[in-house]
């Protein structure tokens, strides 16, 4: 097995014994991307964008304030309302996040 760097990813090349030796690139993990911290949106704007995202089922990118770890993170996915609870379903990781209004820093619709 051989470790190589390709763009911003770490790739393992695995040689598998078959009739012919085949080298298959396998993506193991991405290196952390530099996050551009967006300005904090005003509360009324977050409320409006959040309602639009829920009502129209828009794919959005959301930057969250990370109060526990002093940083920020960004996820793409969909918002849903279940009673009084708002959840965010991340598109790639399929994780579900309970969302509090003050946790949202920035919402942006993903171009269709």
pLDDT digits over 51-83, tens only?
999 999 999 999 988 766 556 788 899 999 999
Residue 12 lies in a domain: yes
Residue 38 lies in a domain: no
- 29 and 47 part of one domain: no
pLDDT of 62 reads 92
- 24 and 75 part of one domain: no
Percent of the chain with pLDDT over 70: 64
Q: 20: pLDDT confidence band, cut at 50, 70 and 90? A: very low
Residue 35 has pLDDT above 50, yes or no: yes
φ/ψ of 44, rounded to 5, equals -65, -35
Task: Give me the number of domains the chain comprises.
Answer: 2
Does this model's pTM top 0.75?
A: no
Judged by average pLDDT, the poorest of 2-11, 31-40, 78-87 is 2-11
Q: 28: pLDDT confidence band, cut at 50, 70 and 90? A: very low
- 24 and 69 part of one domain: no
- 8 and 47 part of one domain: no
- 53 and 20 part of one domain: no
- 26 and 49 part of one domain: no
- 69 and 88 part of one domain: yes
**Could you tell me the residue range of the domain that residue 20 belongs to?**
1-33
**Distance (Å, whole) CA 89 – CA 96:** 5
- 53 and 84 part of one domain: yes
- 49 and 27 part of one domain: no
Highest mean pLDDT of the ranges 6-15, 64-73, 88-97: 88-97
Please state, rounded to an integer, the average pLDDT across all residues of the chain. 74
**Distance (Å, whole) CA 62 – CA 74:** 6
φ/ψ of 38, rounded to 5, equals -80, 155
């Amino acid at each position: 097995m051989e470790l190589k760097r390709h763009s911003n990813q770490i790739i393992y090349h695995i040689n598998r014994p078959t009739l012919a030796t085949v080298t298959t690139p396998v993506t193991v993990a991405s290196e952390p991307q530099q996050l551009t911290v967006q300005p904090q949106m005003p509360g009324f704007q977050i409320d409006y964008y959040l309602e639009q995202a829920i009502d129209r089922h828009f794919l959005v990118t959301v930057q969250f304030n990370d109060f526990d770890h002093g940083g920020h993170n960004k996820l793409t996915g969909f918002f849903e309302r279940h009673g009084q609870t708002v959840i965010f379903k991340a598109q790639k990781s399929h994780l579900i996040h309970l969302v509090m209004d003050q946790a949202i820093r920035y919402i942006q619709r993903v171009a269709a």
